[in-house]
Amino acid sequence: MPTIKQLIRNTRQPIRNVTKSPALRGCPQRRGTCTRVYVRLVQIMSWDKGKRNKTFSSINDQYRGIG
């Protein structure tokens, strides 16, 4: 326990919260904080003569709102 004289000379400093990633404070993407999820639809082609595969194209059309 400090003496009164020590407390007068050097006051107690509050404990500061230290961030785990101080350099990445402005970049939530690199810190691991997910802010938005993007979904990309891929056009699937069949191997027979370049024709579209009907099952996969109908699934893609449903997601786009065509069919």
- Give a yes or no: residue 61 inside a domain: yes
d(CA 41, CA 64) in angstroms, rounded, equals 9
Residue 19 lies in a domain: no
3 or 44: which leads in pLDDT:
3
Domain span at 43: 36-67
Contact residues for 28 (Cβ-Cβ < 8 A; gap 6+): 35
Query: CA gyration radius for the chain?
Result: 30
Specify the pLDDT at position 23. Answer: 74
Q: How many Cβ atoms sit within 10 Å of the Cβ of residue 61?
A: 13
**45 lies in some domain:** yes
8 domain-assigned = no
Domain-embedded: residue 62:
yes
CA pair distance 67, 20, nearest whole angstrom:
49
Whether 57 is in a domain gets the answer yes
pLDDT tens-digit series, residues 26-62: 776 666 666 677 777 776 665 555 555 555 556 656 6
Number of folded domains in the chain?
A: 1
Say what the pLDDT of residue 38 is: 78
5 located within any domain: no
